[in-house]
């Protein structure tokens, strides 16, 4: 009788860790050889025009202006929402008209400058000058794509003007160079709980061309009332000396016209109604040199950017006939015209 063949007991053990490693290696190899869709980051020249602003806007009593501009830097890519650390760093390298670390716009080849700063938010909470850096950081590439929301599709930058500048009207320009460093996860996957991310890294520079137009303007800084006091006869009124204050743009030509409510050919007139009848008391204003400041003889000047006091003397016509007692008044309108 034949003996049965002995049975051999076999045990097969599968190393799942090794297979997991093979799977991960396979995924990494697949990612390596597959066509990759990197973040496409590009630069372009950006240009922004500010104004026109009257010179007083950037003057001693002006108000800083904040204007949004494109930066010239943008990235495109897939709408990837993989969690990772994505950063873009902007560093202001230099500008055309620096004063230390301060950026300045310049009028042609003149010595007139208007300093300014750059900001990364519309509120300009933190100003940035030459050498300053700012980092945008998002946990997803999709979040990074949301930064490119200026009108030209680039990251927005804000330009903030300064005040206290005594400058002439004209066109002011500057060019800023900005260095960009980026590290972006634009391709990736999650495999067995492990984040696989392909980063796109690089550096580039963009230029921002800034133009600001300043126009002539004038402000009346003081126009005190005139009081001749009280007297019985026209010849008894004393002359009154005073000043009219104006502040006009540096080198800007202007004229000052004074218009009375009532006047005749040679005199201004104050009016009083006595017993239902109007009466007129003649007077005139005289500039330096005893020049009558009539409605047809305007004062002409050139602005200094500072308050200019225009002296004048007010006199009542001493040779006119006596007038009834009363309170005589006139209203003079001041018209300052920028030429």
Give the strand pairing for 194-215 and 46-54: parallel
Comparing 77-81, 135-139, 280-284, the range with the smallest average pLDDT is: 77-81
Measured CA angle at 37 (ends 35, 43), to 5 deg: 135
Q: What is the mean pLDDT of residues 141-156?
A: 91
Q: What is the mean pLDDT of residues 275-285?
A: 97
pLDDT at 248: 98
pLDDT band at residue 190 under the 50/70/90 scheme: low
Q: What is the mean pLDDT of residues 218-246?
A: 98
Q: What is the mean pLDDT of residues 32-42?
A: 57
Phi first, then psi: what are they for 263, rounded to 5°? Answer: -150, 165
Q: What does the DSSP assignment read for 19-49?
A: HHHHHHHHHHHHHHHSPP---EEEE--EEEE
pLDDT band at residue 81 under the 50/70/90 scheme: low
CA distances from 254 to 259, 285, 323 (A): 16, 19, 38
Q: What is the mean pLDDT of residues 200-204?
A: 93
Mean model confidence pLDDT for the chain: 87
Report whether pLDDT(28) > 50.
no
Domains of the chain: 37-215 (2.60.40), 218-338 (2.60.40.1090)
Backbone φ/ψ region at 133: left (φ over 0), alpha (ψ -120 to 50), beta = beta
Report how far residue 161's alpha carbon sits from residue 177's, in angstroms, rounded to the nearest whole number: 18
Strand partners, 243: 311
Give the pair of three-digit tokens for residue 9.
């007991």
pLDDT at 140: 82
């Amino acid at each position: 009788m034949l003996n049965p063949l002995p049975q051999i007991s076999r045990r097969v053990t599968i190393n799942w860790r090794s297979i997991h490693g093979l799977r991960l290696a396979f995924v990494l190899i697949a990612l390596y050889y597959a066509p990759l869709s990197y973040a496409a980051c590009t630069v372009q020249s950006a240009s922004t025009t500010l104004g026109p602003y009257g010179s007083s806007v950037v003057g001693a009593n002006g108000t800083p202006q904040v204007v949004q501009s494109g930066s010239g830097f943008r990235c495109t890519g897939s709408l990837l929402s993989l969690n990772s650390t994505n950063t873009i760093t902007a560093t202001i390298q230099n500008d055309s008209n620096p004063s230390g670390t301060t950026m300045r716009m310049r009028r042609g080849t003149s010595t007139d400058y208007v300093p300014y700063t750059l900001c990364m938010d519309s509120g300009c909470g933190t100003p940035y000058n030459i050498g300053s850096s700012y980092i945008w950081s998002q946990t997803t590439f999709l979040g990074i794509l949301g930064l490119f929301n200026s009108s030209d599709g680039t990251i927005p930058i804000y330009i903030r003007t300064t005040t206290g500048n005594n400058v002439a009207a004209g066109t002011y320009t500057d060019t800023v160079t900005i260095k960009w460093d980026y590290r972006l996860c634009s391709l990736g996957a999650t495999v067995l709980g492990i984040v696989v991310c392909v980063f796109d890294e690089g550096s580039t520079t963009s230029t921002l061309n800034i133009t600001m137009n300043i126009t002539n303007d004038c402000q009346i800084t003081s126009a005190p009332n005139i009081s001749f006091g009280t007297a019985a006869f026209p010849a008894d009124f004393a002359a009154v000396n005073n000043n009219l204050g104006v502040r006009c743009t540096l080198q800007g030509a202007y004229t000052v016209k004074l218009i009375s409510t009532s006047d005749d050919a040679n005199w201004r007139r104050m009016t009083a109604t006595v017993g239902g009848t109007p009466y007129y008391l003649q007077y005139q204003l005289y500039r330096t040199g005893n020049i009558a400041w009539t409605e047809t003889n305007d004062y002409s000047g050139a602005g200094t950017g500072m308050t200019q006091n225009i002296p004048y003397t007010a006199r009542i016509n001493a040779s006119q006939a006596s007038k009834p007692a009363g309170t005589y008044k006139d209203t003079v309108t001041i018209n300052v015209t920028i030429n």
